Amino acid sequence: MNLPIGMILLLAVGILVYFGIAHRILDRMRLTDKQALLFIVGIIAGSFIDIPVMRSPMEVNVNVGGAVLPFLLSVWLIFKADETSEKVRAVVSSILVAGAVWLGSRYLPYEPETMFMDPKLIYGLSAGLIAYIAGRSRRSAFIGGVLGIILSDIVHMVTILGMGIPGTTNIGGAGAFDVVIIAGVVAVMIAELVGETREKLQGGPVMGNNLPDGLYEFSKDLNPDTKNVAGEQGVASHDEPEQAQQPESDRPNS
């Protein structure tokens, strides 16, 4: 049985998360390993479940694994963002990705045989790149890639519904499932690659409150030691002048 590319990517990411290889990336996205694995398992299982939401004038289904869970994860990550600017970038990147994919679906050929690459890869890679450029951070890029594809599916459904064309639309299902996964993974990979390169060129991550939880806690553990050392040095430096300025009456007679 040939597995869809989205399923293969999910399994690969799940293995990386299970063995702790993706821990640093998840930490920067404010996700734990258990939360990531839970979502991956849920998305894989939910990919086989379609929820019917409309039967007339056209049939509309929503895939749990390709739309519902990724949408909930994206919204959750938006609310967990510390800065308002990051939330805005995530929403803007989602809108830009949705617009780009929707325009691509209107002007690119419908027949995969006429294209130089699988359309799912074209849409997924393009969405991931646009999501990173607009989102910039790992979390905003992921949200933009995933949520943008889901929004483009919704826009496509509304367009067909407005034109009165009969048919069936499966939001987040079939090929859209693969594009959602590809876009999210590609966006995070680009953000991680660029972020790692930038940090190495700058000599490492900057200490501060905007660090991921793991690095921030580590920096807080380091600061008390630094303060104690500085405090001990300060006490010693204060004691030495007092001893040096000891009154002559207290000095021992020669």
196-248 per-position pLDDT tens digit: 888 888 875 555 555 555 444 444 554 554 444 444 444 444 444 444 444 44
Looking at per-residue pLDDT, the higher value among 72 and 156 belongs to: 72
What's the pLDDT score for residue 68?
A: 97
- Does residue 250 have a pLDDT over 50? no
What's the pLDDT score for residue 189?
A: 95
- Does residue 192 have a pLDDT over 80? yes
Q: Percentage of residues in the chain with pLDDT exceeding 70?
A: 78
What's the pLDDT score for residue 241?
A: 47
By CB atoms closer than 10 A (0-12, 13-18, 19+), residue 144 is buried
Nearest to 213 by CA among 82, 104, 87: 82
CA atoms of 80 and 74, how far apart (whole Å): 10
What's the pLDDT score for residue 227?
A: 45
**CB under 8 Å to 25, separation ≥6 — which residues?**
138, 188, 192
What's the pLDDT score for residue 109?
A: 76
- Does residue 86 have a pLDDT over 80? yes
pTM of the predicted protein model: 0.76
- Does residue 62 have a pLDDT over 60? yes
Between β-strands 168-171 and 50-54, what pairing exists: parallel, antiparallel or unpaired? unpaired
Q: What is the mean pLDDT of residues 75-79?
A: 95
- Does residue 252 have a pLDDT over 80? no
Query: Cis omega before residue 247 (within 30°)?
Result: no
Q: Percentage of residues in the chain with pLDDT exceeding 90?
A: 54
Q: What is the mean pLDDT of residues 27-51?
A: 94
- Does residue 35 have a pLDDT over 60? yes
- Does residue 254 have a pLDDT over 80? no
